[in-house]
């Protein structure tokens, strides 16, 4: 397939506002892709050059891209920045300069195509991303400039956006999976099988390649493999001990730590650590790597765990914001000394060449105990097994008194549900007492400019949304204007301006109009007094019904770098929280 065909598809997707339209456009593109290139096409639709866990970072920011555009266009830095200021998008800047060059050569724009294949552009982008070492910045600038100069104006628009992470197509993974299903099955009924395979390997390009080669049946051959992260299991919420025991009966009850999720892979003498959003973070946590090597006796294993900073002087767990200081690419040794981590392991998915996700929870934990050796860094999660509500409640209160968020109850007979939120895991946090005392992860979809005292920060409030996993949309749930310092608000405004867009993004479902729309990329944690019904917001609103909103929300922490937008709290969770709140008030 010519890359020009992909560029035309990009432009169609960018101009489309309905999910059905997006699926139709993608299905048409996929139908015209060969089984050899479909994986690359899927990566490029996501603005990637591989699965998320491969951590191939382009390492190209705006300033470097400006230099690449200078390299290919012969324009001055002043000209590039002037156009960037007026157009707000370096992709459009490159496109404009190439159009002007074509007109001087009397080339018809509609006839323009680089003649490059999708695979050629893909491999060229991969080469650029892999450049490292001394002088790598200059090499990347020159290579990117040469690539842009070979492209048509429309192709250049999107190739420039890919390394900057600003493709802006409004296409999520569920929409891509629906389109793949339409091509292979004729409708979206194959989506479930595609999603199951994706949950196993976290590589949508691989899933597409296997699907095109071997059909839906072939997806069953995609297996868990150490070194490739799987989608983690997720927990539902409950408001009381009684509610949990009514659902599960006798169950495991584990402490819930307020840290960050880690998926730890042991491969012979190597250890790899992945975040919840599939990013490899091994280099950030040398202390955890050494702890796992020392304390886990298995040739191969995949562990599900939570890392949390522990203050040995005060003998308590650190707040989440302190723990998150360990997630950094520089100053790792200093951070390790300042904020030592404990790794609490609570599940085992794979051991010594065998996938065990279908084993009962109780059996998986027994196997975990057998390969674990007690020491300082790696700990097994605090856990009891009970069906007695008084024992459950005492354990819950003990966990809270130790500074934990609460507990997670687990069905002893349940398998590990990859990428799914089910009642086989149920979390119980501090008592609601008629108030919302749970945190909510919201996606920022826009902001209102600062007024009065906030003019200087340029940010008055952020418009937030939760994820509708059935429709693959972000449905608004409220404006948040408190919880951040003046400095924090100014910094957030800078971050949001980098992803600002002229119109409401396709996947955002909103009745409220902010001053500035942004791409739904950043997740931020908030807490609110309660959830109320509101006609102004779309979360939970069906067919014109009233939606739900957060009352007196405030930010706690900052942007959650460990979460993608699709990892935010879901609409269903908001509805569940609202029902819990009502039950608590009645009591």
What pLDDT digit, counting tens, does each position of 38-59 carry? 999 999 999 999 998 986 789 8
Looking at residue 70, what is its pLDDT? 95
Which residues fall within 8 angstroms of residue 122, CB to CB, at 6 or more apart? Answer: 40, 43, 44, 49
Share of the chain above pLDDT 70, in %: 94
**pLDDT of 206 higher than 80:** yes
- Range in 97-111, 146-160, 282-296 the model is least confident about: 97-111
Region at 227 (left for phi over 0; alpha for psi -120 to 50; beta for the rest): left
- Structural domain spans, the chain: 48-164, 234-429, 440-586
Q: Which two tokens stand for residue 166?
A: 């600003």
Q: What gap in Å lies between CA 466 and CA 480, rounded to an integer? A: 13
Q: What gap in Å lies between CA 118 and CA 38, rounded to an integer? A: 10
Tell me the average pLDDT across 515-522: 94
Looking at residue 586, what is its pLDDT? 63
Region at 575 (left for phi over 0; alpha for psi -120 to 50; beta for the rest): alpha
Give the side-chain half-sphere CA count within 13 A for 360.
Answer: 8
Whether the Cβ atoms of residue 305 and residue 264 lie closer than 8 Å to each other: yes
Q: May I ask the CATH architecture of the domain 440-586?
A: Beta Barrel (2.40)
Whether the Cβ atoms of residue 262 and residue 228 lie closer than 8 Å to each other: no
Is 139 assigned a catalytic role? no
Looking at residue 330, what is its pLDDT? 81
Give the C-alpha distances (Å, rounded to integers) separating 267 from 225, 270, 373: 10, 5, 18
* Residue 84's pLDDT band (cuts 50, 70, 90): very high
- Range in 104-113, 305-314, 541-550 the model is least confident about: 104-113
* Residue 104's pLDDT band (cuts 50, 70, 90): low
Q: Are strands 378-380 and 341-351 parallel, antiparallel or unpaired?
A: parallel
**pLDDT of 585 higher than 70:** no
The alpha carbons of the chain give a radius of gyration, in whole angstroms, of 25
DSSP string, 237-274: E-S-HHHHHHHHSSEEEEEE-SSEEEEEEEETTEEEEE
Give the C-alpha distances (Å, rounded to integers) separating 483 from 136, 439, 551, 554: 40, 13, 14, 5
Q: Are strands 508-509 and 473-480 parallel, antiparallel or unpaired?
A: parallel
Whether the Cβ atoms of residue 507 and residue 170 lie closer than 8 Å to each other: yes
Tell me the average pLDDT across 74-83: 94
Tell me the average pLDDT across 558-579: 90
Q: What gap in Å lies between CA 139 and CA 464, rounded to an integer? A: 40
| Catalytic entry in 140, 256, 342, 427 | 256
**Top-ranked range on mean pLDDT: pick from 99-113, 221-235, 569-583:** 221-235
Looking at residue 434, what is its pLDDT? 46
Fold exhibited by the domain 234-429 = D-amino Acid Aminotransferase; Chain A, domain 1 (3.30.470)
Looking at residue 100, what is its pLDDT? 87
DSSP string, 329-352: SS-HHHHHHHS-EEEEEEEEEEET
* Residue 432's pLDDT band (cuts 50, 70, 90): very low
pTM of the predicted model as reported, rounded to 2 decimal places: 0.88
Q: Does domain 48-164 have CATH number 1.10.3260.10?
A: yes
* Residue 464's pLDDT band (cuts 50, 70, 90): very high
Looking at residue 401, what is its pLDDT? 87
Whether the Cβ atoms of residue 38 and residue 6 lie closer than 8 Å to each other: no
* pLDDT tens digits along 224-240: 999 999 999 999 999 89
Q: Is 489 helix (H, G, I), strand (E, B) or coil?
A: helix
* pLDDT tens digits along 177-191: 999 999 999 999 999
Q: 549 forms bridges with which residues in the sheet?
A: 532
- Range in 100-109, 328-337, 389-398, 499-508 the model is least confident about: 100-109
Q: Is 410 helix (H, G, I), strand (E, B) or coil?
A: strand
Looking at residue 228, what is its pLDDT? 96
Whether the Cβ atoms of residue 273 and residue 306 lie closer than 8 Å to each other: no
Give the C-alpha distances (Å, rounded to integers) separating 343 from 140, 216, 264, 305, 353: 38, 38, 10, 6, 23
* Residue 154's pLDDT band (cuts 50, 70, 90): very high
Looking at residue 433, what is its pLDDT? 45
**pLDDT of 456 higher than 60:** no
DSSP for residue 493: H
Question: Does 48-164 match 234-429 in CATH topology?
Answer: no
């Amino acid at each position: 397939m010519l890359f020009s065909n992909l560029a035309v598809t990009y432009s169609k997707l960018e101009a489309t506002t309905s999910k059905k339209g997006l699926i139709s456009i993608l299905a048409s593109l996929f139908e015209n892709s060969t089984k050899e290139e479909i994986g690359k096409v899927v990566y490029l639709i996501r603005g990637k050059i591989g699965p998320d866990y491969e951590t191939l970072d382009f390492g190209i920011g705006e300033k470097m891209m400006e230099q690449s555009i200078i390299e290919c266009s012969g324009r001055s830095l002043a000209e590039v920045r002037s156009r960037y200021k007026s157009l707000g998008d370096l992709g459009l800047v490159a496109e404009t300069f190439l159009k002007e060059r074509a007109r001087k050569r009397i080339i018809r724009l509609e006839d323009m195509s680089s003649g490059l294949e999708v695979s050629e552009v893909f491999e060229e982008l991969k080469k650029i991303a892999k450049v490292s070492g001394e002088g790598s910045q200059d090499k990347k600038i020159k290579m990117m400039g040469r690539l842009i100069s070979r492209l048509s104006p429309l192709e250049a628009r999107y190739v420039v956006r890919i390394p900057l992470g600003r493709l802006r197509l409004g296409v999520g993974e569920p929409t891509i999976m629906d389109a793949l299903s339409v091509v292979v099955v004729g409708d979206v009924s194959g989506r479930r099988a595609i999603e199951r395979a994706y949950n196993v390997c976290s590589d949508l390009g691989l899933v597409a390649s296997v699907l095109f080669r071997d059909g839906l049946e072939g997806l069953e051959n995609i297996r868990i493999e150490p070194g490739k992260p799987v989608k983690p299991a997720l927990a539902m919420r409950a408001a009381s001990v009684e509610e949990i025991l009514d659902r599960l009966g006798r169950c495991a009850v584990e402490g819930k730590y307020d840290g960050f999720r880690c998926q730890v892979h042991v491969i012979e003498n190597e250890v790899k650590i992945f975040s919840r959003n599939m990013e490899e973070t091994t280099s950030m946590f040398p202390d955890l790597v050494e702890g796992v090597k020392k304390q886990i006796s298995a040739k191969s294993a995949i562990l599900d765990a939570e890392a949390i900073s522990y203050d040995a002087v005060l003998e308590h767990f650190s707040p989440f914001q302190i723990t998150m200081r360990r997630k950094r690419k520089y100053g790792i040794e200093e951070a390790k000394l300042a904020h030592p981590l404990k790794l609490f392991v609570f599940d085992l998915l794979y051991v010594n060449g065998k996938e065990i996700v279908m084993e009962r929870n109780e059996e998986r934990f027994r196997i975990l105990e057998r390969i674990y050796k007690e020491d300082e860094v790696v700990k097994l999660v605090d856990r009891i097994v009970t069906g007695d509500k008084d024992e459950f409640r005492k354990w819950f209160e003990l966990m809270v008194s130790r500074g934990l968020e609460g507990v997670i109850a687990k069905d002893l007979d349940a398998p590990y549900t990859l990428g799914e939120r089910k009642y086989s895991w149920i979390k119980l946090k501090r008592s609601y007492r008629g108030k919302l005392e749970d945190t909510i992860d919201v996606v920022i979809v826009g902001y209102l400019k600062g007024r009065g005292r906030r003019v200087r920060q340029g940010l008055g409030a952020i418009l937030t949304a939760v994820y509708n996993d059935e429709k693959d949309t972000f449905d608004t749930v409220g404006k948040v204007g408190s919880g951040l310092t003046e400095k924090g608000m100014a910094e957030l405004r800078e971050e949001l301006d980098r992803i600002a867009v002229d119109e409401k993004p396709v996947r955002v479902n909103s009745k409220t109009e902010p001053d500035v729309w942004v791409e739904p990329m950043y997740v931020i944690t908030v807490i609110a007094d309660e959830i109320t019904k509101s006609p102004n917001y779309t979360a939970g609103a069906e067919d014109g019904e009233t939606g739900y909103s957060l009352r007196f929300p405030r930010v706690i922490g900052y942007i959650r770098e460990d979460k993608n937008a699709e990892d935010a709290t879901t609409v269903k969770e908001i509805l569940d929280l609202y029902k819990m709140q009502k039950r608590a008030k009645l009591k």
